[in-house]
Amino acid sequence: MFRRPHRDWSIDPPVGTGNRPALPIYELDPVAWNALVSRASQLPVEHVHDLLDFAALNHEEFLAALRIGRVLNVDDDQLFSLARRHSENVHEKLRAQIGRLDGLSRPATRSQIPISTLLWRRWKFRILMRGIGP
């Protein structure tokens, strides 16, 4: 397997991280971006009931974007730009489907929620999205 050369992120962080803006969509790898757009069109929005569900689905899609970028062996700038743009796209679709986030029921503080509940939320969306891509 090909390994990318080590990059010193303290000197040159990839675009799409920190305060560096992500690449515009037209500069992203077209195969990776089309795969992510296809995933976003099949989001299980009807299963998002509160802010924890919203965060869990958004996080799973962020990880999926990283996986797809790594499978296609894109460079770090492309990888983190893909992840950020896809996360923005998912966030937009969820907001359009479920309305204002303020209208969702607010969960208890994070420290009051058992870790098993948080893990289950992430696994729920991982299971629902199975078969839609890496």
What's the chain's average pLDDT? 76
pLDDT value at position 32? 93
Cβ proximity of 61 and 2 under 8 Å: no
The tokens describing 52, both together, are: 């924890």
Alpha-carbon distances of 54 from 29, 64, 114, rounded to whole Å: 27, 15, 17
Residue 118 CB neighbours (<10 A): 15
The whole-angstrom separation of Cα 29 and Cα 33 is: 6
Q: Is the pLDDT of residue 34 over 90?
A: yes
| Domain range annotation of the chain | 27-128
| pLDDT exceeds cutoff 80 at 92 | yes
